[in-house]
Amino acid sequence: MAIAIVALTAGCSNLPSSGPSVRDFVDNAKSNNPIGFSIVDVTPQVIDALHYEPIPAMGTLQANNAGTPADTIGVGDVLSLSIYSAGPGLFGGDRSTPQGGAADSGVSHETLPALMVDGAGNVTVPYVGKVHVAGLTAAQAQARIEGRLHEKSIQPQVIVNVATKVADTVIIYGEVKSPGRFPLSLAHERLLDMIAIAGGSPHPSGDLVITLIRGGRATSERMDLISDHTEENVRLIGGDRIRVDFQPRTFTVFGAGGKVSEIPFTASSISLDQGVARAGGPSNFQADPAGIYLFRYVPPEISERLGMPRGVAPVIFHVDLNEPYTYFAMQKLEMKDHDLIYIANSGTDQLQKFLSLIGQIFGPAATYRNFVQ
Q: What is the pLDDT of residues 77-87, one digit of tens each?
A: 899 888 888 87
Same domain assignment for residues 87 and 30: no
Confirm whether 372 is domain-assigned. no
Same domain assignment for residues 34 and 111: no
Confirm whether 287 is domain-assigned. yes
Please tell me the predicted confidence (pLDDT) of residue 93. 55
- Which of residues 164, 186, 211 is at a domain's end? 164
Bridge partner list, 295: 316, 340
pLDDT bin (cut points 50, 70, 90) of residue 193 is: very high
Q: What is the pLDDT of residues 97-108, one digit of tens each?
A: 545 544 455 678
Same domain assignment for residues 280 and 261: yes
CA 170 to mean position of chain CA atoms: 18
- Collect all residues with Cβ–Cβ distance below 8 Å to 27 and sequence separation of at least 6: none
47 or 347, which is more confident?
Answer: 47
Same domain assignment for residues 183 and 62: yes
Taking the C-alpha atoms of residue 37 and residue 265, their distance in angstroms, rounded to an integer, is 26
What is the extent of the structural domain holding 223? 58-66+168-246
Same domain assignment for residues 279 and 354: yes
Confirm whether 205 is domain-assigned. yes
Please tell me the predicted confidence (pLDDT) of residue 150. 83
Please tell me the predicted confidence (pLDDT) of residue 334. 92
Please tell me the predicted confidence (pLDDT) of residue 266. 85
Same domain assignment for residues 33 and 100: no
3-class state of residue 113 by DSSP: coil
pTM above 0.95, yes or no: no
Q: What is the pLDDT of residues 138-162, one digit of tens each?
A: 899 999 988 888 878 788 888 998 8
Confirm whether 126 is domain-assigned. yes
- Which of residues 219, 246, 273 is at a domain's end? 246
Q: For the ranges 57-66, 104-113, 274-283, which has the lowest average pLDDT?
A: 57-66
Return the DSSP state at 203: S
121: left (phi over 0), alpha (psi -120 to 50) or beta: left
Mean pLDDT, all residues of the chain: 80
Count of domains forming the chain? 3
**CATH (domain of 92):** 3.30.1950.10
Confirm whether 370 is domain-assigned. no
Task: Answer whether residue 128 shows pLDDT above 90.
Answer: no
Return the DSSP state at 338: T
Confirm whether 365 is domain-assigned. no
Please compute the mean of the pLDDT values over residues 198-219 and round it to a whole number: 92
Task: Answer whether residue 371 shows pLDDT above 70.
Answer: no
**CATH (domain of 258):** 3.10.560.10
